[in-house]
Chain A
Amino acid sequence: MKILALETSCDETAAAVLDGVRVRSNVVASQIALHRAHGGVVPELAARGHVTAVVPVVETALAEAGLDRGGIDAVAVTEGPGLAGSLLVGVNVAKALAYALDRPLIGVNHLAGHVYANWLGLPGEEPPPVPAFPLVCLLVSGGHTELLLMADHGRYRLLGQTLDDAAGEAFDKGARLLGLGYPGGPAIERAAAAGNPRRFDLPRAWLPGQGAGFDFSFSGLKTALLRLAERYRSPEPPRPRPASPPPGRFAEHRPPAFTPHAPIADLAAAFQEAVVEPLAVKTARAARAHGVRTVLLAGGVAANAALRERLRDEVIDHCGGEVPVRYPPLAYCTDNAAMIAAAAHFASDRGEETGWETDVHPRMPLVADG
């Protein structure tokens, strides 16, 4: 079965074609350059970008898959969670496309998509070994930090989640505080490579009393980094105050200025370790507690090499060498539509189909409460 999937939940306009779980094409139009000037995603700008990117992205995905539109068996789309104005572009295009082609529509939870990125190989390559259930998946991105237990396809249990910032958001904010640019994860990782993580002691929120101890928190860490970084800020020259506020439609982000010898690399390294350690340790603890057969990493932050390394070490420490730690190819860590098609493939196997009256679900949970 050939599935065309669309993904527009945040700032990437993406379309992909899968044949089974084989990726025939995977096209992502990134808005990173657009949002970099603002130090983060501006929802209204993201929505505008999807409207003009979506047609060429779909056409390219079909062309690269060597298909015309009639060769599609089903259309899948991210229904949520995400930015409402962005989601609705993909959902409405996908609905209308499925309707025009008289094919089923399969709505997909964006988080499920991230998890299923682990079932995919790069275009033209063999898919990786099928992850064995039960598994835990640490899903870390700009919008999400969730620790999931999966007993089987489509069966999720939420073991823990962030109580404040998502891990990717923490990286974005940390990078912003250090003047390292956007997106924050790669920026922090680059800066941290030359740094000494032990020079500064930043707090970890272990939250032992919280739930089963698998929740996360990064807001205290951000505050601690701000206090440290402030010591090295160079005094800002006073800006001439305009008579009237500038006609700024979408405010430009002004990075902070630091003194010449500010230890930015050490600060970045300490910050990265303080984000990574609780993520890796709690995931490994959950893997041991639930006797899983696989540990998966998913989401944009799964691209972080320090997290991958630390998680592998912690899983060996907690579970021995028998439990593999897996993460998707880099291209499937950040938002993409191939992962949405993969989740749709298994949802379709279970007979799931979405009606024309479906709406966007900006706060869609992956796991029903209870």
Chain B
Amino acid sequence: MHPNLLGPASPVRPLLAIDSSTEQAGVALFDGARGAELSWPAGRTQTASLLAQVHHLLGLRGLAAGDLGAVAVATGPGAFNGLRVGLAVAKGLVLGLGVPLLGVPTLAAAAAAHADAGRPVLAVVAAGRGRLVWAAYGDGPEGWGPTAAPRNGTVEDLAVHLAAAAGTVVTGELDGTQEATVAAVAGVTLVPRPLRLRRPIAVAALAWDRHLAGEADDAAALAPVYAGREP
């Protein structure tokens, strides 16, 4: 082990982030200085795999659950049951550990990885049954953040939206057909496929600042963002 390889250990206990918004699931640890993350195509097996991967990730850092200082979770939009798995694991952990819980919008986490693009970023998340939810992010009066409310529709709806938003960088999950439809829109930059995967460390990073500021969400009331399709 090279404990100093990534800088001195943070005096603050690490935060665990969970993102099971879609079939690509992820977990991350962040302590303000050092990060660790796992991302895997969980399909619909999040219930079976999520906690096992949390355990694996903690093991990579030589930590136990009791070492965690906070838990963050992506709140959607996304697949309803996937979101509920993440919320339920996060709630179980904070119930057992007595640490704060922080919810992070999934689209904010997806967009955050491209905040330095210098251009508007449009983050997309798959919401099941071929539906997509997207939101535009960019610099606003209060700094980087969403510049419009999330919208949901088909990839054709998204293409119409993008045609009027030249110069936009598009990130997030798109399947092969959806990718081709978006790439065909003039003036749009599509982030390369592997880099479009959401990174759980982005969930952790977004929650970290709030955590340090002493903020937390209500562990009882925190619920998924149910956008994207009518049940």
Report whether B80 and A88 are in contact in the complex, using a CB–CB cutoff of 8 Å: no
Report whether A54 and B84 are in contact in the complex, using a CB–CB cutoff of 8 Å: no
Residues of B within 8 A of A100 (CB): 65-66, 92-93, 95-97
Complex Cα spacing A94 to B231, Å = 26
The answer, yes or no, to whether A59 is at the interface (CB within 8 Å) is yes
Complex Cα spacing A264 to B196, Å = 61
Q: Given contacts A249-B230, A356-B55, are A47 and B88 in contact (CB under 8 A)? A: no
The answer, yes or no, to whether B185 is at the interface (CB within 8 Å) is no
Report whether B52 and A356 are in contact in the complex, using a CB–CB cutoff of 8 Å: yes
Residues of A within 8 A of B154 (CB): none
Residues of B within 8 A of A95 (CB): 51, 89, 92
Complex Cα spacing A249 to B231, Å = 7
Q: A149-190 interface mask toward B, CB cutoff 8 Å, 1 = contact, 0 = none? A: 000000000000000000000000000000000000000000
Chain A interface, >50% SS class: helix
Residues of B within 8 A of A96 (CB): 51, 88-93, 95-96
Complex Cα spacing A96 to B55, Å = 10
B52's contact among A94, A101, A357, by CB below 8 Å, is which? A357
The answer, yes or no, to whether A66 is at the interface (CB within 8 Å) is no
CB distance from A174 to the nearest CB of B (A): 27
Which residues of chain B from 129 to 148 have a CB within 8 Å of any chain A CB? none
Complex Cα spacing A359 to B91, Å = 17
Complex Cα spacing A356 to B54, Å = 10
CB distance from A266 to the nearest CB of B (A): 39
The answer, yes or no, to whether B115 is at the interface (CB within 8 Å) is no
CB distance from B3 to the nearest CB of A (A): 25
Most buried by B among A42, A50, A99, A250: A99
Residues of A within 8 A of B223 (CB): 48, 51-52
Complex Cα spacing A71 to B65, Å = 17
Report whether B95 and A97 are in contact in the complex, using a CB–CB cutoff of 8 Å: yes
Chain A residue with minimal CB distance to B50? A92
Chain A residue with minimal CB distance to B221? A52
Report whether A92 and B92 are in contact in the complex, using a CB–CB cutoff of 8 Å: yes
The answer, yes or no, to whether A93 is at the interface (CB within 8 Å) is yes
Q: Given contacts A69-B98, A100-B95, A357-B52, are A56 and B220 in contact (CB under 8 A)? A: yes
Q: B214-226 interface mask toward A, CB cutoff 8 Å, 1 = contact, 0 = none? A: 0000011101101
The answer, yes or no, to whether B87 is at the interface (CB within 8 Å) is yes
Chain A residue with minimal CB distance to B86? A92
Q: Given contacts A85-B80, A92-B89, are A359 and B47 in contact (CB under 8 A)? A: yes
Chain A residues in the interface with B (C-beta under 8 A): 42, 44, 47-48, 50-52, 54-56, 58-59, 69, 84-85, 88-102, 249-250, 356-360
With contacts A51-B87, A85-B81, A96-B93 known, what are 14 further pairs, Cβ within 8 A? A51-B84, A51-B223, A85-B80, A88-B88, A91-B88, A92-B85, A93-B88, A93-B95, A96-B90, A97-B93, A99-B55, A102-B65, A250-B231, A359-B45
